[in-house]
Structure 1
C-alpha cells in the first residue's frame, strides 16, 4: 500500500464525491474486506455496495488483494491503494471541490450517527465546537498553524507501521472556513 494517492482526474474526484464511498475507502484503508463484509458493516444491500466498490476500483482507489473460493463463488478482498488520499493542487479549485466537501460532511454525519448508535450514549471522548467568531489576522494565522500541525500529526499516525496495534481508533474532523459577508452582521457577536 502506498502512503499517498493524489487525485488528479475528474473521474477520481467524482468517485470520491459520495459519502458512502468515502466511508468504504476509510474502512479499506485499515483492513481488506469483501463486498459482502462491507455491505454488512455499513448496513446496505450487497448489490448497492458492489456498485460503489466498482466505482472506487475503476477510479484506481482500491484494488483486489486476494481471492478465496467460498461456496461456489470467489470472494474478492479489496484494500485501499493508499493510506491517504489528497487532491492535486490544480484540482482543488474545481467545481467538484464543493461537491467533495459536501459529501465529506455527509460521510462525517453518517459516521457520527453510527458511533452514537453503537455507544447508545454520548460518545466517549468527543470534543466538538462550532462557533462563528471574529478573528484578527494574527489569531486566524495561529489557528491555521495549529490545524496544520494536527493534520501533520494525523498523517504521521497513518504512516506509522505500528498503527494497527494501537487500541484507540478515532475519527478526526475539522473545518475552518470564512463566513459570507451576509452572515456577519446578523449571526456573529
Structure 2
C-alpha cells in the first residue's frame, strides 16, 4: 500500500512556509476550532491567528464550517483542516528556497509541539546516519510511506492523537 502523492504548487509552498500554519492545521485536523480557540491554544492574539487562518482557507487547506452559537451566545465560525497536505510532495526545483522554507516550517512546528507537550509527554525519537544508494533511498521512502499509510488508514477514533515527523536529508 503506497500513499497517494501530488506535487505542491508555488502558491501552496508559500502558504505552508510558516510554522504556525502547520500548527493550526494540526489543531484543526481532529476537530473544528474557531479562530479564538486556535489563538488560545497557541497562546497568540486572535488577530495573528486570523491572518494565518485566512491564508490557509484561501489556499484550501482549511475549510470554514457553518456558523454556530458559542458558549456566550455569540456567533462563531469554526474551521477544519481539509487534509489537502496529506501526500503533498514539494518537488519544484525552480522554487528550491520555498521548498526549504516549507521543510524548516515543518521542523519548527514539530519542535513547538514537542515543547508544548511538556517534559512528561511520552516520546519516541531517534536520529541516525545512513549511507544509501539512490535505489536504497527510494526503497526506504517507499517502505516507510507504505507503513505510514497503513497506520493512517486505521482511523482509530479512541486512539491517542500523535504527531510524527519523517525526514531524510543529505548531510552537508
Unaligned residue ranges in structure 1 (runs of 5+) = 181-189
User: 2 CA distance for matches of 1:45 and 1:5?
Assistant: 35
Give the number of aligned pairs: 168
From 127, 135, 157, give the equivalent of 1:164.
157
Matched with 1:152 is: 146
Distance 1:46 1:59, change over 3 A: same
Higher relative contact order (CA 8 A, sep 6+): 2
1:113 matches 2:111:
no
TM-score, normalised to structure 1, is 0.74
Cα 1:27/1:149, change in 2 over 3 Å: farther
TM-score if structure 2 supplies the norm length? 0.80
Cα deviation, residue 60, structure 1: 1.1
SS at match of 1:163: coil
**Whose radius of gyration is greater, 1 or 2?**
1
Distance in 2 (alpha carbons) for counterparts of 1:81 and 1:63? 6
Equivalent residues in 2 for 1:55-134, closer than 5 Å: 55-70=55-70, 71=72, 73-82=74-83, 84-87=85-88, 91=92, 94-95=95-96, 96-115=98-117, 117=118, 120-121=119-120, 123-124=121-122, 126-132=123-129
1:57–1:94 distance in 2 versus 1, CA, 3 Å: same
Query: More helix per residue: 1 or 2?
Result: 1
Structure with more strand by fraction: 1
Q: CA RMSD in A?
A: 2.9
